[in-house]
Amino acid sequence: MYRWLLRQGKQFSDPVERQYLWSWVRERFHHNKRQTSPTQVDIQLSDAHWALLVMESALGGNREQAKYIGDLAYGRIGWLKQIAQYVNEFHHPAKSCELLRDVRPRSSRIHQPHPAYCIPFDLRAFQVPVYLVERLKDEDERKRRRREELDRRKLILLRREIDAMAEAAKGGNRYLEDAGLLRGAFSSNIAVRNIHYIPGMSGNPAWIPPKIKARVDPPFVQHMQASSGFEFYKVNGRKPPHWLGNRIKASYEVAARNVIKHEFFYYFVDDLKLEEEFEERLGIEDRGYWIYAANYRDYLRSRIKNGAAPSDLPDSEQEPSLAQLVDGEEDCRHLADFVAEQLSAEADADS
């Protein structure tokens, strides 16, 4: 939407209107492309659609919309009319009018103070007093001269420092050697000067970075261990790579799943025990169900005690499967026979 608005604004033939639309579309919509509030997004999109409809209507030949855009660009209505009125009423014996440099509202100037985002007062569309324009030109010239003077002074100080260091290096100053200045850095003799280690043009000093002092800091590489037992190496002060972050995350997810599973096992064992006690209190003689409940309870208790899947244990410690605990017992076979007899008895009674 933002780029389409800019393209539509470039199609106007009047350069003043074209510059006005480009500047204010950029000001209004460029810095608001990313919004987190649904209300603000709705407002921005509705304003953008309205601006697009107005520009398309003006380009399509609607005189009313074309006149509206022209009045805005030439300051006959809107914000620029207030700015033009303020500039015409501005009077000061020495100061210049800053609105000639940037006509944006104060909030925009605070939000984006860089000169690249400024919208200058278009002198093609407005009559501005000549002395205000001359003051701006004089200020720009003074700033340019001040920058040139500061750069010249910095260059002079740098040359003086280089000359002093060159004299000290030629005299064999051991402090400069300790600081890292190479011998022959300022020599005009190619045989003496080390061209492989001296950067830049001949005559510039070559500095070796000073050795970093030992500080009481943790080591560069640390051996870490997560609460889930996952071990890894961490580089100090750096974000871990993607694969390492995924492995740490997976280890925590496995630990969380094990905790949930063991919690379920624990409460399920309690439920089986309560059921067994309740049936015993009622006097129900169902030994087969008790055997099944006891075997399954032992199986779950072993899982909680070991804390690992059966495949993770050694062969000597492999626990039997649930089918072996339930279906492989002789009492369970009796239970199956008992159930078959009950079903056949019910079928005979129905017949």
Answer yes or no: do 164 and 192 share one domain.
Answer: yes
In a domain, 78, yes or no: yes
- Compute CA 108 distance to the chain's CA centroid, rounded to the nearest angstrom: 25
What local confidence, expressed as pLDDT, does residue 240 receive? Answer: 67
- Burial of 103 per CB tally in 10 Å (0-12, 13-18, 19+): buried
Answer yes or no: do 122 and 166 share one domain.
Answer: no
Name the DSSP letter for residue 31: G
31 Cβ contact partners less than 8 Å away, ≥ 6 residues apart: 111, 112
Cα 278 from Cα 203, distance rounded (Å): 99
Residue 232 has φ and ψ, to the nearest 5°, of -160, 170
**Six token digits for residue 257:** 């799943």
In a domain, 11, yes or no: yes
Answer yes or no: do 194 and 254 share one domain.
Answer: no
Answer yes or no: do 14 and 121 share one domain.
Answer: yes
Angle at 102 between CA 99 and CA 106, to 5 degrees: 85
Answer yes or no: do 13 and 116 share one domain.
Answer: yes
- Residue 238 corresponds to which amino acid? R
Answer yes or no: do 9 and 65 share one domain.
Answer: yes
Q: How confident is the model at residue 232 (pLDDT cuts 50, 70, 90)?
A: confident
Cα 199 from Cα 185, distance rounded (Å): 10
Res 144 pLDDT > 90 = yes
In a domain, 264, yes or no: yes
Q: How many CA atoms lie within 13 A of 135 on its CB side?
A: 16
Percent of the chain with pLDDT over 90: 6
Q: How many CA atoms lie within 13 A of 163 on its CB side?
A: 6
Name the DSSP letter for residue 104: S
In a domain, 237, yes or no: no
Expressed as residue numbers, the domain containing 315 is 244-350
Answer yes or no: do 111 and 146 share one domain.
Answer: no
Question: Domain end: 211, 232, 260, which one?
Answer: 211
Q: Tell me which of 40-49, 139-148, 303-312 is least confident.
A: 303-312
**Six token digits for residue 200:** 């830049």
In a domain, 230, yes or no: no
Answer yes or no: do 281 and 329 share one domain.
Answer: yes
Res 313 pLDDT > 50 = no
Cα 88 from Cα 100, distance rounded (Å): 11
In a domain, 194, yes or no: yes
Answer yes or no: do 105 and 192 share one domain.
Answer: no
Structural domain count of the chain: 3
Q: What is the mean pLDDT of the chain?
A: 74
Q: Tell me which of 43-47, 81-85, 128-132, 334-338 is least confident.
A: 334-338
Answer yes or no: do 110 and 24 share one domain.
Answer: yes
pTM: 0.43
What local confidence, expressed as pLDDT, does residue 272 receive? Answer: 74
Beta strands in 120-270 (DSSP E): 221-225, 231-235
Q: Measure Cα distances from 261 to 178, 257, 309 in Å.
A: 66, 6, 11
Answer yes or no: do 74 and 166 share one domain.
Answer: no
Question: Domain end: 128, 162, 188, which one?
Answer: 128
Q: How confident is the model at residue 238 (pLDDT cuts 50, 70, 90)?
A: low
In a domain, 227, yes or no: no
Name the DSSP letter for residue 224: E
What local confidence, expressed as pLDDT, does residue 204 receive? Answer: 46
Answer yes or no: do 26 and 114 share one domain.
Answer: yes
Residue 224 has φ and ψ, to the nearest 5°, of -110, 160
